[in-house]
Structure 1
Amino acid sequence: MAAAQRACVSAGPTRGLLLLGGTSILTLMAIVGGQRLLRQRAIAVTPRMDSAQVWARYRWSLDPVQRREAALLLASRSKDSPQRQRRLLAGQGWGPAPLAAVALKQQALAAQRLGRPSEAKQRWRSLLERFPTSAASADARYYLKGKDAQLKQQLLSQQPAHPATLAAAAELPDDANQDTLQANALHLARWGPRWPGAASLMRRSCGTISGIGLLQEQRLSLASALAELGDGQAAELCLQGTPLQPPQALIIGRTLLRGTPAQKRRGEALLLDLANAHPQSEEALKAAALLSEPLRPKQALLDGLPLSLQERSADVAAARVRLNGNRNGLEVLKRWPDHPAIWQLQWDLARSALLEGQWNQALSVLNTIPGNKLPDPLAARQQFWIGFSLAKLGRQEQAERVWDSLVKDYPPGYYTWRAEARLGGGDLPALRGETAAAATRTIKANNTGMGQGWSPLNSGIPLVDQLWRLGLRQEAWDTWRSSQADVKPSPQSQLIEGRLRLGVQDYWTGLNRLWRANLRLVAPDDETQLQLHQSQHPRPLLPEFSAAAQQEAVRLELLLAIARQESRFSPGVRSPVGAVGLLQLMPATAAEMAAAPISDDDLQEPGRNTILGARYLAWLLEEWQGNIWLTAASYNAGPGAAGSWRTEELAQDPELWVERIPYPETRLYTKKVLGNLWAYLKPDWEGRDRSRSR
């Protein structure tokens, strides 16, 4: 018994030590595992993750929110497989979070694509019952409405700017009466005049002679919307003598200025009447700007403006300087250094001095407004020409310091390229031949990953930012658009709208919004500057552009640079002179390149257009022996015109040569294309040099 007791006593500490050690190991393992899970949870699901990483979170994450996010991102990557989407999204509509409404909508859409109408209807009803005020509920009302007048009325009143609502308003039944026609047209005029089909409804509502049954306020709304679309004639017909209020007078007058000579005269009279009737209004100030806009404004129109309005209008002051042979220009620049009209005046005065070789005068003009008071594109232009003028005055060291700062502080573009060239760099790679084709193959191989180029949206609306992060770009756009119905546009909102539009492949409008933001944002922070630059140089339709670049042995980046300027990557665009498609080919030029007749429909096909455009570009490069200046100018104005502009200055000072191009459109076009090219050749730019203060 004693021996047994001794054995138990000796075994007790041993078991205790084993138990203590095992507990410590398990605790350590739990801590390590917990930390790993916490780290995994802290890493948000984003499009930068490859599908294996997202799948791991969908399958193994302990966080149900993260599992749902992973399911939605995987589903957004599975658009060609509604069956897989349905499996991924099963059970993800739980809880009260706004993302649950989105999951229910995606479930309903997947069911519809699979031909399961009962299941889709059930999901739509669940969405509408649980989330009646969410943006996604607009889609539920749209799909459930049928002939339910109450649901349609809810759609129109509760979510007036949502795309589903605009689609419902544009769908006019065959048996619709005049009241329904007018109600739908007025809704579209207020919330979506550019929606497909809106213009025809608004014209029908106005009537060819008189909009029967329309109140004056309704006529004003319809006429203003038609004017926004550029249809001044329809706007005037719709008015039928209705007295104009300042906002409508401004919109219609602006549109008429772009019409026929007769319409232009009526527009001028309308704007002049507005300015004199309401001289203290904001609309009067904008009317004065429109009447001052031409490079050679009419003296009589400016004299007809109220004196008080003339005194407070920077646009009128700039116009007076131009009319008076540039006299008093510096005084006007100093008075309104923050006004866009004065920024343009500064460049006009500087360019005039530069072309005349008046370097000191150019410096005086360029230094009048500090660079930190200008948007980036204008500041970069200013800094380049300050350096250029200093170099011409023999102050080379100062010039190089200015150019060096320019290269470090601003995104890649035309003026940073020219600054690098002046500093001894800036060499372009081979733009045609086997070397160019090989570079395209390398680029194509390096652009196959998921989410390349993705960055946070930072819209200020958490749900929009979350949808963007999960690859649900259409949902992000719909939600953001619904929230911005009555918000006055700003440069920051134009940046967000531009990025969202690119996300839903509306490159035409998206790039326009980004361009406007770029010309109004002054001294943006580092993150905004980087986002704006990256967003302005997308690479859509890369398979088509890459195939064309390889087949015709031209540099891919040059094709992208031209397409961005020609069509903003919109295959269906037609110019007023008849150019068609991504690379805006004239039918005769395209037929020559194809060695056969070719239809406009064929030219709207991206693969066909890019190949013929690349072939024409290769011919121009060969014609000009690789000279990119003459090639770019020729693509816009034709090789005959560009050839007539050749001088020795092209080799010595190509920047000045461009400024002497007599066609303003070609002058701007050449700089834009070459700036695009340099930006596309520098895809890894990560922002300004943060070791420097701007």
Structure 2
Amino acid sequence: MFVRSLAWLLALTCLGSGAALLGGRQLLQQRPLPDPGTPLGTLERLQRFDPDPMRRREAALLLLADLDRQPGGGDPVRAGQLLRNQAWGRDPLAAVVLKRDAQAAAQRGDRQGSDRRWRQLLRRFPGSPASADALYALGRQQPERRSQLLRRFPAHPAALAAAVEAGGRDGALHLARWGVRWPGAKAVIEARCNPAERPGNPDERNLLARGLAQLGDSKAALACLDTIPPSPSTQLAIARSLGRGGERGLQAEARMLSLAQTWPTSPEAAEAAHWLADSDTPTSLAALEELPAALQDSAPVQARRALVLGQPSAALMVMRRWQDDPASWELQWQLARQALLSQDWRGAAALLGTSALDGVTLPGPLEARRRFWLSLSQWQLGDQAQAKAGWAELLANHPGGYYGWRAAVRLGRDDIDLDPDTAPGLVPPPWHPLDSGRQDLDRLWRLGQTLEAWEQWRHLRGEPATPDPAQLLVEGRLRRGVGDHWMGLEQLEQASLRLPTGQCPQILTLERSLDEPAFTDELNLAARAARLPATLLAAVAKQESRFSAAVRSPVGATGLLQLMPETAAELAGAPLPDEALTDPQRNASLGARYLRQLLDRWEGNPLLMTASYNAGAGAVEGWISPLLQVTPELWVEAIPYPETRLYVKKVLGNLWSFQEPRLPLCR
């Protein structure tokens, strides 16, 4: 009896202990996951004392990410301490730990320890993108490792760096195919195109020439081809690199037409026809007449003809036939804009409210533009109630940007603030999940390993970049995460023009990502010194340079706020070396002084100040008219320089969004 009772007691005890352990594990798993927003003190405690080894590793990587942000990239000794004993198991994070540990060892001067970790990484995780860095590092003494790298991870940044170092035929072809914009790629490709070196194979020559054209160097591309005929894709790339203005624009037009006539059924021919339809050269209409019949009967070509004819019936026919084509949307806007500029409010309302596009969901920025001007037309026609309802709907669904600002002003709800004492300052953006659809990428992003996430994405994506808006959103965020704001913002802008408005969660993420400032410390400091809102500096920097401190325009404008050297010298009181203008703090300080001068000159008028920053105060002086006070939105639309017209809308839309981030109503 006693034995039987003891057995039952032991069984119940084991069951209870097992249930307690299971319950404890479930409770541990239900805790919030650490991320870059977790306080450092909490991460320190997790890394040292948490009972879950996975959380200890995640906390260590987050602490390492904070170390990376320190001046000089942090202390490699401390990095090694954080990573010690964290490379256990088969989880992909172990590969990242080994890579980071190998890099830290190399920084400490421990080459043997670094190589040992690289070899361990290759042995345990041969398919991990982190192993690309191992092949690169070990390839210094073992060249065959570099060959493996190019084959197994062709689009990985380590492979592109190896191709630049290798040069020659293989390096040039690899870069032209997988990473033409990688630093140093152009020089390698040009060297291979040298007459003494260039290949006789037409496919290889086209690949090299196409790469040079994609970099904007049509002259080098044509020299590389020499007598080799261009393929359709090479011809398209060369034509695009020539641009649209002046004599080069006419050369581009001739190449586009030749492409369409020579390969009329190719995808490149369709793109060429679209390009020609958007051209405004004196011979562009005649070029459209020379297109093959199938290309003439396309939305871009027919939309251009309808716009030239100016006949509403022809325009309606195009819009009804090609409802979902962006050419129809642009046709609607251009005809409406003509009506607006002539203050034909009834005609504008008819065009913007036309049933020809019923059922079409425009991308957010285009729908905001349509809704604003339709409401203003209704207001001018005396239907104030409907106009207010339209502006309120615009604010609910597209609250940011230029048209969100103007709708808020029209409703008397809010306005931009140019008073430095009351305008909000800039704050670093909070962390948000990546939501890429790939668990491995999302976890790397959550653990602050943005460079690892970007390199893994680059390896998975390959070349060229995808036009899919969801992937553009992910890549744009990853690029911004590693400091490539130039391409990151470009891809986010492309996503905004392609993402359907029904994709609400992605739209919320997109809006947040577009409205994240960079260089907040530098801009705040410069703004305080010039007595300006820091949000104004951020708004200008986003449009001028996409927050890229080293970018230089073809005419010499340099840095965050794209200052011309002459203007900068005048503001500084002495000539400045080039490196001074690429310094974010120096550039922001000088740009802030210039904006302060313009704001004072125009007595606080943001439209005149912004237009002057782009076109010059002298030009803007000649544009002032009563329309500026009566209907300022129409004054902006009448600016004769298309670049300045867009610039004013972008900068002031940025300012509105930076001052009070607003997210659309999610349905």
Q: Shorter-chain TM-score: which interval?
A: over 0.9
Evaluate the alpha carbon distance shift between residue 259 and residue 92 of structure 1 in structure 2; reply closer, same or farther with a 3 A threshold: farther
1:166 aligns with 2:166: no
Equivalent position to 2:278, from 293, 299, 312: 293
1:499 alignment partner in structure 2: 477
Residue 580 of structure 2 is aligned to residue 594 of structure 1: no
In the alignment, what sits opposite 1:519?
497
Quick one: which of 557, 565, 568 aligns to 2:535? 557
Partner of 2:3: none
Post-superposition CA distance 1:201-249 (Å, at most 9, x none): 1111011x46544311100110111111111111111112223332222
Give how far 1:495 is off.
Answer: 0.9
Determine if contact 1:41/1:66 at 8 Å carries over to the other structure: no
Corresponding residue number in structure 1 for 2:457:
480
1:171 is paired with a residue of what secondary structure?
Answer: helix
Q: Write the letter of the residue equivalent to 1:137.
A: S
Compared with structure 1, are the counterparts of its residues 213 and 382 closer, same or farther at alpha carbon in structure 2 (3 Å cutoff)?
A: closer
Q: Does 1:347 align with 2:333?
A: yes
Aligned-partner residue type, residue 484 of structure 1: R
Q: How does 1:139-288 map to 2 (within 5 A)?
A: 139-172=133-166, 181-207=168-194, 209=195, 211-258=197-244, 261=247, 263-288=248-273
> Matches of 2:246 and 2:389 in 1, distance apart?
50
Q: Determine if the alignment matches structure 1 residue 572 to structure 2 residue 560.
A: no
Residue range with higher mean Cα deviation, 322-331 or 467-476? 322-331
Change (3 A) 1:158 1:259: farther
SS in 2 for 1:77: helix
- CA positional deviation for 1:641: 1.4
Partner in structure 1 of residue 35 of structure 2 = 46
Which structure 1 residue ranges, 5 or more long, are not aligned? 1-19, 173-179
Q: Give 1:74 shift.
A: 1.1
Which amino acid counterpart does residue 618 of structure 2 have in structure 1? G
8 A contact 2:499–2:507 mirrored in 1: no
Identify the residue that residue 12 of structure 1 maps to in structure 2.
Answer: none
**How far apart are the structure 1 equivalents of 2:603 and 2:358?**
40
- Residue of structure 1 aligned with 2:412, choices 405, 412, 424: 424
The verdict on how the C-alpha distance between 1:650 and 1:259 changes in structure 2, with shifts beyond 3 A counting, is closer
Contact 2:307–2:334 under 8 Å retained in 1: no
Letter in 2 for 1:431: D
For 1:498 and 1:524, the matched residues in 2 are separated by: 20
Letter in 1 for 2:233: P
Read off the aligned partner of 2:495 and give its amino acid letter: A
CA distance in 2, matches of 1:498, 1:426: 30
Name which of 61, 79, 90 aligns with 1:72: 61
| 1:118 pairs with one of 91, 99, 112 | 112
Q: Counterpart amino acid of 2:393?
A: S
1:35 CA displacement: 5.2
Shift of the alpha carbon at 1:34?
4.8
Q: Does 2:390 match 1:402?
A: yes
1:67: Cα distance to partner? 1.7
Letter in 1 for 2:550: G
The answer to whether the Cα contact below 8 Å between 1:372 and 1:522 also exists between their aligned partners in 2 is no
Q: Distance in 1 between matches of 2:448 and 2:295?
A: 49
Stretch moving more, 617-626 or 252-261: 252-261
Deviation at 1:682, TM superposition (A): 1.2
In the alignment, the residues of structure 2 paired with residue 256 and residue 567 of structure 1 have an alpha-carbon distance, to the nearest angstrom, of: 22
Match of 2:305 among 288, 305, 320: 320
User: Does structure 2 conserve the Cα–Cα contact (< 8 Å) formed by 1:254 and 1:267?
Assistant: yes
Number of the residue aligned with 2:96: 102
Verify the 8 A CA contact 2:198 2:205 in the aligned structure 1.
no
Q: Where does the alignment leave 5 or more consecutive residues of structure 2 unmatched?
A: 1-8, 69-73
Asked if residue 60 in structure 1 is aligned to residue 49 in structure 2, the reply is yes
Does structure 1 residue 332 correspond to structure 2 residue 318?
Answer: yes
1:519-558 residue pairs with structure 2 within 5 A?
519-558=497-536
Question: How big is the shift at 1:148?
Answer: 2.1
| Range moving further from structure 2, 77-86 or 266-275 | 266-275
Distance 1:139 1:232, change over 3 A: same
The equivalent of 1:15 in structure 2 is: none
Cα distance in 2 for partners of 1:252, 1:568 equals 26
Cα deviation digits, residues 247-279 of structure 1 (max 9, x gap) = 222222322345872x54443333223222332
2:342 and 2:252 map into 1 onto residues whose CA distance is 37
Shift of residue 33, structure 1, vs aligned partner:
11
Could you tell me how far 1:588 is from its partner in structure 2? 2.3
Q: Is the 8 A contact 2:299 2:322 kept in 1?
A: yes
Output the aligned Cα RMSD: 2.4
Q: Return the alpha-carbon distance in structure 2 between the equivalents of residues 111 and 70 of structure 1.
A: 20
- Supply the distance in 2 between the matched residues of 1:571 and 1:689 (Cα, whole angstroms): 34
Amino acid across the alignment from 1:414: Y
**Cα distance between partner residues in 2 of 1:264 and 1:622:** 39
Contact 1:417–1:678 (CA under 8 A) maintained in structure 2:
yes
1:350-361 aligned within 5 A: 350-361=336-347
Q: How far 1:36 moved relative to its partner?
A: 8.8
User: Offset at 1:370?
Assistant: 4.6
Q: How many residues align?
A: 647
* Letter matched to residue 478 of structure 1: E
Give the alignment's TM-score, normalised by structure 2: 0.92
Shift of 1:680: 0.3
Stretch of structure 1 that moved more, 553-562 or 615-624? 615-624
C-alpha deviation, 1:634, in angstroms:
0.9
CA contact (8 A) 1:548 1:611 kept: yes
Pairwise CA distance, 1:89: 0.8
| SS at structure 2 position matched to 1:331 | helix
| Pair 1:212–1:548, CA change in 2 (3 A) | closer
Classify 1:366/1:211 alpha carbon distance in 2 versus 1 (closer, same or farther; 3 Å). farther
